[in-house]
Amino acid sequence: DIARCYRLLIKELDLKMPVTDSIQCIARIASKIGIQEKTKRHAIKVLKLAQENEISAGKDPMGLAAAALYLSCVKNGEDKTQRDIAEAANVTEVTIRNRYKGLKDSQ
């Protein structure tokens, strides 16, 4: 109900909401939990590939960024759990797992 009212206000007032870019979210999440620069760069590559393959369309940017960081941590041997990343990104571990599957398949 709240979401419906929100969309109605946006439409009626002709407001343009800024689109959050998942690549910008990576730095925010990574700085909260101390992820290495190498891992951040790999996560950005993963997200750019996902955008090219249109896997990211319609997905929550923060969830995508969190999953890309988790995938990059696993690949680079960085010891971060799904829970660590989920808490830093304010998403659920289930979201990370679901987005992780899609990102991993696109690699």
Please report whether residue 3 resides in a domain: no
Please report whether residue 46 resides in a domain: yes
CATH classification of the domain holding 39: 1.10.472.10
> Can you give the pLDDT at residue 11?
87
Please give the chain's pLDDT, 107 residues, in tens: 888 998 898 889 988 876 678 999 999 999 999 999 999 999 999 999 998 888 888 889 999 999 999 999 999 999 999 999 999 999 999 999 999 999 998 87
- The structure's pTM equals 0.81
CA gap 42, 40 in Å, rounded: 5
Please report whether residue 5 resides in a domain: no
> Can you give the pLDDT at residue 29?
96
Number of compact structural domains in the chain:
1
Q: What backbone torsions phi and psi does residue 56 show, to the nearest 5 degrees? A: -85, -10
Residue type, 72: S
> Can you give the pLDDT at residue 19?
64
What is the domain extent for residue 28? 20-105
CA gap 51, 6 in Å, rounded: 27
Please report whether residue 66 resides in a domain: yes
Please report whether residue 2 resides in a domain: no
